[in-house]
Amino acid sequence: MANLRSFEGLQLNLFKLFEKQGANHADIFIQAEGREIPAHKAILAAHSEFLSGLFAENPGHERVELEHKFSVVYTLVRLLYFGGLAAERLTPLEGLDLLSLAEELQVKAVDAEDVRPIIVNGLDESNCVDVLNHEALHKFPEFEDAACKFTGEHLQPMLKNRKESLLKVPRHLLTVVLQYACHHVSSDAETDLVVKYCLNHTQIDSACDLLRETKTWQWGSGDFSVLGSLPAEDCSEEASQVWRIDGVRAAMDGTPAKVVAGKFFDWCIRLDYGAEGKLRLVYESAKPTEDKRAINRFPAAMFAWQVMYKGQNVFHEKPVFICFPENVPLHWSTTLPITAAELSDDDCLEITVMMAENPMISLVLYYFSADLKTTVFAEDILNRLPHIEYRCLSSYSLVKTHGAGAESPPN
């Protein structure tokens, strides 16, 4: 109990020193936005390597001016006396400013986790785009992702109420925002809003050009994706990084298969024989991970394969783009430079893949298919739409027009 009373007494004395009698006993004044905060060098120097060095170089220093908002500076100085943050006093932007100020002053008593509730819980439609533009945001990936997620998940109402603000989303974060947004686009009207927003944001003239341009955007993380196992009719078995097929010759009797797990789709890939007996990877299907999304109509992704055979990487082709039309039996394949004739009984393959789904291609194709007559009139899709996307769109239109039993174009 005595220790508790001593601690409470210390806190009370610090409070008096900072709040009530600070001006009388202060030996340093911190200035921001024309206002002053009386403080004490010993306390500040104990927490800040920068201020400690400054005071040591010039013991007679009485004032330090900081180019930050007063509320941010006051919160930091107060924290150095008492610890903890008065979360209700700061906005998410001020929380990022606080982290920047702490870094500038070399204050180790503040870290990102302390400020996380201020930034993440304080996001709203009025400030999320400003947070995305904060100069310090890139230093904190968790906060950057949280701001992108909030903006994406609230894109629809913001497109109706804060369209001009959304045009200020940084270009390098647009794909992240869109990936979160595409989970929530489920109707023609919502698709129209997002596609037109992207056209406006990028200043691209046509949706065909937008579709082409999105292929150059950075959608994936750059890491090799997980290849999940494919039990009989269940893709939930624990995933592994490498698809290893031992005894390939015998395994081919059962056409081995795997699932490439994505954010939007689970892509079923099978290994079988193609032309001239060469092994090929067949893209069989893309199963949506969520229902009622516009992008489910045209799953789209880029695949970059690495195939190890007899200790060598034998696959050196460029990444391949794959797109499926909904309810159309259209298959694609990638041929490997390995023939059945050269396989021995103990040969094995190790396959990894880097996969990046492209929800904007899916969304633009949905946008086209929602009103194909208008699309044909407004967009020169015959000449401007890339081959795979044109084939998917035309196949979908053919099957939709003539029924699910109609014959699809040959592979």
Q: 180, 110, 95: which is closest to 145 by C-alpha?
A: 180
Does 314 have pLDDT greater than 50? Answer: yes
Does 225 have pLDDT greater than 80? Answer: no
Q: 151, 156, 116, 145: which is closest to 130 by C-alpha?
A: 151
Give residue-wise pLDDT tens across range 354-366: 899 999 999 999 9
pLDDT above 70 as % of the chain: 86
**Domains of the chain and CATH, by start:** 1-122 (3.30.710.10), 227-361 (2.60.210)
What's this model's pTM, rounded to 2 decimal places? 0.84
- Across 133-273, where does the E strand assignment appear? 227-229, 243-246, 257-261, 265-273
What is the average pLDDT score of the chain? 86
pLDDT computed for residue 115 by the predictor? 92
pLDDT computed for residue 19 by the predictor? 59
Give residue-wise pLDDT tens across range 36-59: 999 989 889 999 999 999 999 988
Name, of 10-14, 187-191, 387-391, the range with top average pLDDT.
187-191
Place 409 in a pLDDT band, splitting at 50, 70 and 90. Answer: very low
Strands 63-65, 28-32: pairing is: parallel
pLDDT above 90 as % of the chain: 62
Rounded distance between C-alpha atoms, residue 62 and residue 27, angstroms: 6
Does 278 have pLDDT greater than 90? Answer: yes
pLDDT computed for residue 382 by the predictor? 80
